[in-house]
Structure 1
C-alpha cells in the first residue's frame, strides 16, 4: 500500500463550534465525502435503518440528548457537514455509530478496533497505541491541531467527518488519552444516551487526570468504552473502563506492563463473546 503523509490542519481560535467544524470540513471536504461514500457499514446498514420509521425514536433521543449535553460539539458536527458539503445525516450517523448499530437487526460491526501497552516504571513511562480501525478509514484520517478561545490547545488524530478524537489525542494541560472499544451485550446498553465521540471530544479540554475521570464518569454514556488516561505532569497512566448508567472501574498502571484491547478486564459487565 502506498504510504501517504498524514495531513495536519491547525484551526482556531474560532468564534464558536460551528466555525471550527466548518473550517475542518472545508479543509478535508474531499476526504470526508470519500470516507462516507466508501464506508459500507454506513451505506448498507446505518443509512437504510435511519431512513426507516423504526429508527425515529432512537435517532430523536440520541440527537436531543447529545445536542443538549454538548451543544458546542453538536454545532461542530453541523459545521463539519456544512463546510464539507456532506449530508448532515451521514455525519451524525458516523459520529454515533456505536450507539446505533446494536439496535439494527443483523448489523455487522467489528470490535477489534485498537490495543494499548501501558507501563509506568522508575525510568520509563510509555503508552503504546495500535490503531486498528475499520477498513473505510484507510486514507481517511488526519490530525487536527485546535486552539480554543479559553487558551487551551489540543492535537487529535481524527477520522474523516468525525469529532476529534475517537482514537487518541493530547492537550496543552499535559493530559493525553488513547481509546479501546469494548463489546457489551445488548442489554448492557442504554438507548439514546450520550455518544462516545462526544465524551472523547470533551476529554481534549480536560485540565488533568482527575478532571478527565470526572468528565468520563458523569457522562451518562449509552455504550461502554475503555479510556487510557495519561497525565504528563503527574506521570500517571490510568485505565478507566465504563458502561452505561455511569458505571466506572479503574486500574492504575505501574511497573508491570498492562495490555488492553477490546474486552473488559476489570469492570463487571456482560460482554459479547463471553458467557
Structure 2
C-alpha cells in the first residue's frame, strides 16, 4: 500500500466500496490494513483534504499516476459531476460530435497520440474518471475541447467552443521587481468548479497547481519544487492551423509541472506535433529568469525573454510570426487599455489587472459570461506565490505559499 493510498479518506472508502473493488484497490486495503493511514490522517486533524476559504485543496503523497487521478476524482466527485452538467458546450456540442463518425475518428486519433506520448498523464485521466465515477469520454472531451473545436462542422459552434478563455498576464523582471501576475479568467460556470492540487510524486518532485474540475493539473497556473512556475494564456489559431489528432495543450501544461529548470521547461513547452497553439509564461526562481513562449502546430514556436520592460499578454499571438489567428475584440481592447497605464510597481500592475473601466471589454471580468476567478502573483524576490480573490487591486490574499525551497 502506497502512502498515497493510505491518505485516502475512510469515509469515501466506506461510501464507495464498489468503486474500490472496480479499481482493484479494495482488497489491497483489506490485506494491508488502514491503521497507519488513519493515524496519519488524524495527525492532520482527521482529514486528507484542507480548505483555503472558497477554493478547496487536496494534498497527495507518493502517488502513482492512476492513483493520484483516482484520489482527486474521488474527493471532488460532486464538483466534477457539477462541472460536467454546467459546462456550456459539453452536452450541447462536444458529446453529440463525439458520437458522429468524424468525431469518433478524431477522438480516437487524439487518444492514441497523447496516450503514447504521455502514458502517465493518460493514466491520471483514467483515474480521475474512475474516482469520480463519470464517463471517461466526458473527461477526455473536457481536456481536448480546444483540439476538437476547429473540426466541428458547425462553423459558429467551432468558433464559440474554440474561443480562448480570457486570461491576462503582466510580466516584469528587473532587480527591483521580478513577477508574473496573472488574471485567471474563464466561463462563469467555472466559479465553483476549481481546486488546488498539492502533490508529491514518487520521483520526489512536489507541485502545486490551480486546477479546473475534471482537467489535468493544470491548464491555469502552477509551480514545482524545482523552482519552475508557469501561467497560461490561450490563443486561437485559425482552423487551418490546427492539426487533427496532435498533442493536446492540457498534456503539455501537465508536463510542465515535471520541469527541472527553465531549459527543461522550454523544451517541454515546444512540442513538435502540437494540435493547436498556446502561450506559456515560465519562471525559474533559482536562475531568476522569465520567458514568454508562444507555440503553434507543426513545430512552430517563439521564445521571448522578459526584462525590466513590462510585458502584457492576453489571448492573441504577439511574437510568433506566420500563424494565422482569429482576432478577438476583448484582447485588442484589453491590450490598448493596459498600454495606457503605468506598470512599474506591483501596486500599479495589480491596479491594471483590476481595471474595469471598459464595461464591454474589461481587464478584470465579473460576468455575465466571463469571470476573473482569481489573480496569481509569482514573485521571484519573495520566492512565493500569492493567490488573490476579488479585484486584485484590493490585495485580498486567499492562499500564499513559498515556492523554493517549497513549503510542504
Is this contact kept in 2: 1:199–1:219, CA < 8 A?
A: no
Matched, 1:66 2:114: yes
Matched, 1:38 2:86: yes
Q: Which residue of 1 aligns with 2:325?
A: 271
- Tell me the matched-pair count: 271
C-alpha deviation, 1:134, in angstroms: 1.7
How does the TM-score come out when normalised to structure 2?
0.65
Question: 2:150 is paired with a residue of what secondary structure?
Answer: helix
Is this contact kept in 1: 2:207–2:225, CA < 8 A?
A: yes
What are structure 1's unaligned runs of at least 5 residues? none
Give the alignment of 1:62-211 within 5 angstroms: 62-104=110-152, 105=154, 106-107=156-157, 108-109=160-161, 110-211=163-264
Q: Which residue of 1 aligns with 2:281?
A: 228
C-alpha deviation, 1:112, in angstroms: 4.1
| 1:7-32 Cα shifts (integer Å, max 9, x gaps) | 01001211x21111000000100000
Distance 1:234 1:80 in 2: 34
C-alpha deviation, 1:253, in angstroms: 0.5
Q: Structure 1 segments of 4 or more deviating over 3 A? A: none
Q: Which of structures 1 and 2 has the bigger CA Rg? A: 2
Distance 2:62 2:271 in 1: 27
Is this contact kept in 1: 2:194–2:213, CA < 8 A?
A: yes
C-alpha deviation, 1:4, in angstroms: 5.5
Distance 1:99 1:155 in 2: 25
Distance 1:196 1:39 in 2: 19
Is this contact kept in 2: 1:21–1:76, CA < 8 A?
A: yes
How does the TM-score come out when normalised to structure 1?
0.96
What are structure 2's unaligned runs of at least 5 residues? 1-51, 329-408
Distance 1:94 1:82 in 2: 15
Distance 2:165 2:61 in 1: 34
Greater RCO structure (CA 8 Å; 6+ sep): 1
Distance 2:165 2:57 in 1: 26
C-alpha deviation, 1:87, in angstroms: 1.0
| 1:90-145 Cα shifts (integer Å, max 9, x gaps) | 00100111100111123123324211000011111011000111222110000000
